[in-house]
Amino acid sequence: MTRDTVYKARNPDEPFRFNAEVAAVFPDMLRRSIPGYEASLEAIGSLAARCVRPGTRCYDLGCSLGAATLAMRQGVRAEGCRIVAVDNAPAMIERCRSIVRDESLRQPDGAPIELVEGNILDIGISNASMVVLNYTLQFLPLEDRETMIGRIAAGLNDGGLLVLSEKVVDPDPAIEALLVNLHHEHKRRNDYSQLEISRKRTALEDVLIPETVELHRTRLLRAGFRSAAVWLRYFNFVSIIAIR
């Protein structure tokens, strides 16, 4: 695993991008930056084993290097399923393709994976029993988020499942300040310097726009999901399960 040193020298005025530089260190970046990330992947595998139905599709929207895609593949027990993994960053898809190919050679009997380079807003979703948005929705423009959730709801079969993981903001300013400080301390404990933390935060401004848990839940229910609840929270990172 290549160590993330992207923000030791990067220009702080350059916005965050999913380019080749980030793709090369992305697993380490996630492991050291997102508390609870590995637990969310474990749950995706467990949910796939329980919820994916025979002859249906699973979608990983904003798949990056395919961690959630492979978690679903390892969990799926039903026959005749296909996983569609989508990302709009060429560097991510290129590296993901290599990772998926290696995994398919090791586990040739798993569900086939279709990799798509494209905008998740343009992807048709149909006959789905499981959809994953793992820290993806937060990068969409605010005006597109309702449309995205609505299209997922429309493409899920009855009883289908959406896993939505996001960085969130707390409506209470005091709690929000505490959670931000705890997250920064988490990064410091994972050997990021204060300069790296500050530079990355600046780079993500206006690129990653978090929302409250209640806003996410309201949007999901409005789109047609019958249930939605937080199953995992670690500081200001949450994973929500929504049932169609």
Read off the pLDDT of residues 58-87 as tens digits, 9 standing for 90 and up.
999 999 999 999 999 999 999 999 999 999
Length of the chain: 244
The two structure tokens encoding residue 199: 């530079």
Quick one: pLDDT band at residue 14, thresholds 50, 70, 90? confident
Give the closest residue to 68 by CA, choosing from 154, 135, 132: 132
Contact indicator for 148, 121 with CB cutoff of 8 Å: yes
pLDDT at 13 over 80: no
Pairing between β-strand 128-134 and β-strand 156-167 as defined by DSSP bridges: parallel
Q: Give me the amino acid identity at 52.
A: V
Establish if 217 belongs to a structural domain: yes
Establish if 6 belongs to a structural domain: no
What's 102's domain CATH number? 3.40.50.150
pLDDT given for residue 32 in this prediction: 92
Q: The whole model's pTM is what?
A: 0.93
Task: Say how many domains are in the chain.
Answer: 1
Percentage of the chain beyond pLDDT 90 is 83
Range of the structural domain that residue 112 is part of:
37-169+207-243
**For residues 11 and 109, which has the higher predicted lDDT (pLDDT)?**
109
Establish if 182 belongs to a structural domain: no
- Taking the CA atoms of residue 157, residue 158, residue 161 and residue 166 in that order, the dihedral angle to the nearest 10 degrees is 90
CA triple 146-34-101, angle to 5 deg: 85
How far are the Cα atoms of 42, 128, 222, 234 from residue 159, in angstroms, in the given order? 21, 10, 16, 27
Establish if 48 belongs to a structural domain: yes
Establish if 218 belongs to a structural domain: yes
* Average pLDDT of the residues of the chain: 94
pLDDT given for residue 182 in this prediction: 96
Establish if 130 belongs to a structural domain: yes
CA distance 75 to 51: 10
Establish if 24 belongs to a structural domain: no
